[in-house]
Amino acid sequence: MDFGLDGAVVLVTGASRGLGAAMATTLAAEGASVVAAARSTGSLAEVAARGKGRITAEAVDMRDEDAVTALVETVVARHGRIDALVNNAGIAPAGKFVDQDPGVWKETMAVNVIAPMLLAQAAGRHMIAQGSGRIVNVASTTGVRGKPHLVGYSTSKGAVVRMTESLAAEWAGKGVQVNCIAPGAFATDAQSAVLESPDLLARRVKKIPAGRMAEAEELMPLVCLLVSARSPFTTGSVFVVDGGESGKL
């Protein structure tokens, strides 16, 4: 399917590795002009190099509210518009809830909730003025169903799901679509501890009805569709992509 992304301007956060890097390179391959944002400048430069001139890199710390808001203005100043925003950046500190310092929660909320909110707000202003735009928030299956030892992360991703639904309802009449992807177990470097341990990997895969972890490329057609203008009636949806795991009782 031709997603019609030639010339579309897309901002992808958390784009230096894993799913974010795959999103940036895939969207660029589909013809979009991609601004890839992340903290890791070295890895980000590698992603930009794979974009064949369609990816530009912006080093941004998602904990810096001023820098986050300015990021959208940088995109618009460079390209004249912003057609889509993919809020992918996130952190997932693990630990027993009773022992977790409140500072860990504050940082998690800053990166996983406040930064996407600020980006959606800044991008939304331009999209409403344009009369069109798409926002794709990347949550997690833990935002749909809680997970032990990831209470802060689960809470933050649950907030992303609710933000998606609320914004979609508020902006549907303004030509702006807001959707959410909730990935399950993907074989990226974020899962390196699991992938490098045969025992952990076997236990993790046992929980997945599909019997395996997914590859990043398997998520990309959905990302391209939601970033494109090909499904204009799709908004406020949460797409769980987890091989059937969250569907189990």
As averages over each run of 10 residues, the pLDDT of the chain (249 residues) reads 94 97 98 96 93 96 97 97 98 94 96 98 98 98 92 97 98 98 88 77 88 94 98 97 87
What is the model's pLDDT at position 128? 98
Domains present along the chain, CATH in parentheses: 9-186+216-241 (3.40.50.720)
| 35, 92, 181, 236 from 143: Cα distances, Å | 26, 12, 10, 15
Which pTM was predicted?
0.95
What DSSP string describes 124-162?
Answer: HHHHHHHT-EEEEEE--GGGTS--TT-HHHHHHHHHHHH
Q: Give every strand in the sheet of 84-87, ordered side by side.
A: 55-59, 33-38, 9-13, 84-87, 133-138, 176-183, 238-241
- For residue 186, the cross-strand partners are 214
Question: In angstroms, rounded to a whole number, what is the distance separating the alpha carbons of residues 130 and 177?
Answer: 13
**DSSP E strands: which ranges in 7-164?**
9-13, 33-38, 55-59, 84-87, 133-138
- Return the active site residues: 153
What is the model's pLDDT at position 248? 78
Question: In angstroms, rounded to a whole number, what is the distance separating the alpha carbons of residues 82 and 77?
Answer: 10
Neighbouring CB atoms inside 10 A of 244's CB total 12
Residue pair 188/214 in contact (Cβ under 8 Å)? The answer is: no
What is the model's pLDDT at position 249? 58
Question: In angstroms, rounded to a whole number, what is the distance separating the alpha carbons of residues 149 and 154?
Answer: 9
Tell me whether residue 189 is exposed, middle or buried, using C-beta atoms within 10 angstroms of its C-beta: 0 to 12, 13 to 18, 19 or more. Answer: exposed
Q: Which residues of 81-119 are buried (b: 16+ CB within 10 A; e: fewer)?
A: bbbbbbbbbbbbeeeeeeebeeebbebbebbbbbbbbbb
What is the model's pLDDT at position 237? 98
